Amino acid sequence: MIHKLTVPISDEAISALHVGDQVEISGVIFTARDAAHKYMVEQFIKTGGSPAESEAALYELLKAKLDGGVIYHCGPVVAKDDGVWRFVAAGPTTSIREEVYQDLVIEHFNLKGVIGKGGMGPRTLAACEKFKAVYLHAVGGAGTLIAERVQEVEDVHKLKEFGVPEAFWQIRVEGFPAVVTMDSHGKSIHADVAAQSEAKFRELVIA
């Protein structure tokens, strides 16, 4: 069974998901990597939702669009044809770098989904359980295929400041495929794999 999720995603839909479930996401989502996460925390969250006047418009947009929304850890390859942006490749980037920020972003923006690769740590897992969110693993090495699920680049934010890979790309996706690897019930496949690996290592060392 594939769970069809449409942004904004409800708490009930998130609660129905468990690790190992396949999902397809449709709607408007945002790419965000290191610079974008640091920016959100420093400009919006640490200021208590009172950003500088120059940043207020983007804050209001993100507050509206990320409420029940999804962030994709991705540094896309893009092209521009006749003034219109399109994604050439959109593979996931390693998520653990955002561990110091992700729980804060989930809480502040009421984020419901984080897509990336490699999983995240205990802070993110705790936030997923407390605020009803999931971490979704996208297939690495399939950037061109994933880009086909991007129906439209609606806008791009902070392009000049952050550059193409780090900018906020506001995209509309249809049937974006991913697998739940951290759910809102405190379960993480990544934690299990790490524990199993450590146990096997100890077994081999002792043997």
CATH 3.20.20.140 fits 2-206, yes or no: no
Q: Which residue did the predictor score with more confidence, 174 or 200?
A: 174
Q: Does 190 participate in catalysis according to the annotation?
A: no
Q: Which residue did the predictor score with more confidence, 99 or 204?
A: 99
Q: What would the mean pLDDT of 20-43 be, rounded to a whole number?
A: 97
What's the DSSP call for residue 207? -
**Predicted local distance difference test score (pLDDT) of residue 201:** 47
Yes or no: say if 34 and 97 are a contact pair by the CB < 8 Å rule.
yes
pLDDT digit string (tens) for 49-93?
999 999 999 999 999 999 999 999 999 999 999 999 999 999 999
Segments making up each domain of the chain, as ranges: 2-206
What does the mean pLDDT of the chain come to? Answer: 93
pLDDT digit string (tens) for 12-30?
999 999 999 999 999 999 9
pLDDT tier for residue 203 given thresholds of 50, 70 and 90: low
Choosing from 3, 37, 73, 108, which is the catalytic residue? Answer: 37
207-to-50, 151, 196, 197, 202 alpha-carbon distances in Å: 58, 54, 16, 15, 8
Nearest-angstrom CA–CA distance, 117 and 34: 14
User: Which residues have C-beta within 8 Å of that of residue 91, sequence separation ≥ 6?
Assistant: 74, 138, 139, 140, 141, 142, 143, 146
Question: Is the confidence at residue 187, as pLDDT, over 70?
Answer: yes
Question: Is the confidence at residue 137, as pLDDT, over 80?
Answer: yes
Maximum separation of any 2 CA atoms in the chain, in Å: 64
Both tokens assigned to 139: 């297939």
Question: Is the confidence at residue 141, as pLDDT, over 80?
Answer: no
Q: Which residues pair with 177 in a beta bridge?
A: 24
Alpha helices in the chain (DSSP H): 11-15, 34-39, 56-65, 99-109, 122-131, 143-147, 159-162, 189-206
Yes or no: say if 7 and 111 are a contact pair by the CB < 8 Å rule.
no
